[in-house]
Amino acid sequence: MPTDSAFSSPQTWHVLVIDDEQGRRAVALSAATYSIGRDPSNAIVIHSAAVSRQHALLLRLPHKDGQYTYRLLDGNLEGKRSTNGISVNGRRCLSWDLKDGDQILLGDQVRLQYYVRRSSEANLQQYLQAVAFRSLKTGVVDQQATIMQPLEVPGGAPQAQTTAKRAKEEPRRRSPRRLLQALWERLRG
């Protein structure tokens, strides 16, 4: 439990403000990685058909002074790029080291803003509530229990399957070691 002094002392906060079809919301960033896309299995779910299922990644980059920033990458861990791409501050890119105030466009419809703020936790909470904050920690999803939307089969009845069942049916393409190697190559290149 935070002490009164920890609650009121200024800290550096990273915030992503998202404007999609369901309105505006803010996410406080602290994890090492975030997947972004319209698929419900992403850490940050975007509500727009113009966004790929696995549209982008956010990677935390530590600095020597103990601070960190985030790098935005187009596509998923396997190196597959999004269909409609990403732009930061009006420039199309595959990778971008985010800075305070950067304006991000996923596809041509969904706007994100990245902010780095130094404030107390109390002030951050007030800010997040002001832009309809949704905590990622409170929305934990058990992927094995998640039911996907019914799939309309031409000439047949709707079908639903769990993500766990779908994952079992799909062959594994790469080992975790190879995924990390591919990610490392993307970061270096």
pLDDT for 186: 67
Cα separation of 12 and 98, whole Å?
15
Listed in order, strand segments (DSSP E) in 30-84 are 33-37, 44-45, 56-62, 68-74
β-strand pairing of 23-29 with 68-74: unpaired
At position 28, the amino acid (one-letter code) is A
On the 0-12 / 13-18 / 19+ scale of CB atoms within 10 A, 38 is: buried
Q: How sure is the predictor about 139, in pLDDT bands with cuts at 50, 70 and 90?
A: very low
Residue-wise pLDDT tens digits, 29-54 = 999 999 999 999 999 999 999 999 99
Which has more pLDDT, 80 or 1?
A: 80
List the strands of the sheet with 56-62, edge to edge: 44-45, 33-37, 56-62, 68-74, 95-97
CATH 2.60.200.20: which residues of the chain?
A: 4-141
Residue-wise pLDDT tens digits, 83-138 = 999 999 999 999 999 999 999 999 888 999 999 988 777 777 777 766 654 444 43
pLDDT for 108: 87
Strand partners, 73: 57, 95
Cα separation of 75 and 81, whole Å?
4
Q: How sure is the predictor about 82, in pLDDT bands with cuts at 50, 70 and 90?
A: very high
Q: Is the pTM of this model over 0.85?
A: no
Query: Is the pLDDT reported for residue 55 higher than 70?
Result: yes
Residue-wise pLDDT tens digits, 142-181 = 444 444 444 444 555 444 444 444 445 544 454 556 666 6
* CATH architecture for the domain at 4-141: Sandwich (2.60)
